Structure 1
Amino acid sequence: MRYPPEETAAKHERILEEAARLFRERGFDRVGVAEVMKAAGLTHGAFYAHFASKEALAAEVAANSVARGRGLIAEAGKAGSPQVQYVRSYLSRSHRGDPGAGCAMASFGSDIARQPESVRSAYSAELSRLFDEMAPVLSEAVTGAAAQRAEAIRLMSSMVGALVLARCVNDPKLSDEILLAVRRAELKRLEEAAG
C-alpha cells in the first residue's frame, strides 16, 4: 500500500525523533530497530521503507541532532545577550536531567567515536557547520572569523564537557558543583569580553 508523500515524510520524522531520543538516553548500541519503531508507533517491518539499515538511521539521527542544536543557537542569537542565555540554559539542572531532549553532543559523548564511519562523518560535518554558525552568535566580543570559530569551539567544548561530567557522577551535590563552576567561569569570561 502506498501512502501520500506527506504521510511518509511525517512517519520518517517520527522515526528520527524517537530514535534520537532513545539514542540520547541510552546510546546507539543499546537501542534496537524494533524498539525505535515501537516508540514511533509503527511496525518493525516499516523501518526498511525509510532506512537501509540501523547505521543509516544512526547517521541521519547524528546529523539531524547537531543540526537541531544549530537551530537552538540561531534562536538564542535573536534574543538579547544570547551568549549569557545560552550558557545559563545549557549548564542548567533541567538540561542535565533530560538527556533525551537535550544536547546531542553531550548525550552521544564518546559513543559517536565507536560508531561506523558513516555515522561519524555525518556527525562531524554537522558539528563543523555548528561551529561556523555559532561563532558570530556566541563569540561577539572576538574579532575575525577564525578567532570566533576557535572561541566557539572552546566554549562548546567546555560546556559539553561539564554537562557530560555532571551527568556521569551519582552525587547530586558534585553534579551541581560541576555545572555551577563552569557556568560561573563562562559567564565571567563573557562579562570580561564585553568590557
Structure 2
Amino acid sequence: MRKIAGKSKEVTHERIVEVAARAIRRTGYDGTSVADIMKEAGLTHGGFYAHFPSREAMLAEAADRAGADAVTASSRVAALAPPEHALQSLVQAYLSKEHLESAELGCPVVALGSEMPRQAPEVRRAATRRIKEMIDVVARQSPDWGQPGAHERALVTVATMVGALLLARAVDEPKLSDALRKAALKYLSTADT
C-alpha cells in the first residue's frame, strides 16, 4: 500500500508541475498563484505543501519543466530534419505562427524573460540551465559545430529567435508581427550560409 501511495504522490506532483509550467507561460510568474495552480490541477490548496516547501520551489520546477519541454521540442524538430537542414528547420519551427500563438506551450524564455531578474535564485538557476541547453541544441545543428566562432553564432541565433518572437507577440498589428518573424527568419537563413 505504501508503494501505491508514493506512486500516487509522484503522479500528483508531476500534474502540479505540468499545470504550473503552462500557467507561468500563460500568466507570468507573478500571475501564477498557488491556489490557481492547485485548482487547475484538480486539487485543494491545502495539499500544496505536501509537494513543495514553497511557492518558489514550485516555480523553479515549473521553469525547469517549461525549459525542458522547449529544448525537447527543438531537439525533436532538428532530429527529424536532414542534418544539413536541421538548423533551418529548428529556426523555422521556433519562428512559426503556431509557436507565436501558443505561448502557454511554447518557449518560456519568450514568455518570461523580462520577469526573470526578479525571481528567486532557484527559479533563475533552472531557467539559466535550460537556456544553456537551448544554445547547445542550436550550436550542435551548425555545420561548423566545434569550430571557433560556432558557439558565438549560436548565441546570436538564439538571441535573434527569442527577440523576434518576443516582439512579434508584443505588437498589436498582425502585419508587423509577421514581418518581425519573417525578417528574423530571412536574416538567420542567410547568416547560416
- What's the counterpart of residue 12 of structure 1? 13
- What's the counterpart of residue 184 of structure 2? 182
Tell me the alpha carbon deviations over residues 137-166 of structure 1, each in whole angstroms, 9 at most, x when there is no partner.
2x2x22426633222211111000000001
The TM-score normalised by the length of structure 1 is: 0.89
Q: Are residue 86 (structure 1) and residue 87 (structure 2) matched?
A: no
The separation in 2 between residues aligned to 1:148 and 1:124, in whole angstroms, is 20
- What's the counterpart of residue 98 of structure 1? 102
- What's the counterpart of residue 48 of structure 1? 49
Unaligned runs of 5+ in 1: none
Matched ranges for 1:20-169 at <5 A: 20-79=21-80, 80=82, 81-137=85-141, 139=142, 141-144=143-146, 147-169=149-171
- What's the counterpart of residue 172 of structure 1? 174
Q: For residues 143 and 95 of structure 1, do their structure 2 counterparts lie closer, same or farther at Cα, with a shift above 3 Å needed? A: closer
Alpha-carbon RMSD:
1.8
Q: For residues 35 and 145 of structure 1, do their structure 2 counterparts lie closer, same or farther at Cα, with a shift above 3 Å needed? A: farther
Unaligned runs of 5+ in 2: none
The separation in 1 between residues aligned to 2:136 and 2:54, in whole angstroms, is 30
The separation in 2 between residues aligned to 1:114 and 1:12, in whole angstroms, is 25
| 154-163 vs 110-119, greater mean Cα deviation | 110-119
The separation in 1 between residues aligned to 2:97 and 2:66, in whole angstroms, is 21
Q: Secondary structure at the match of 1:101?
A: coil
Give percent identity, aligned residues only. 37
The separation in 2 between residues aligned to 1:159 and 1:133, in whole angstroms, is 13
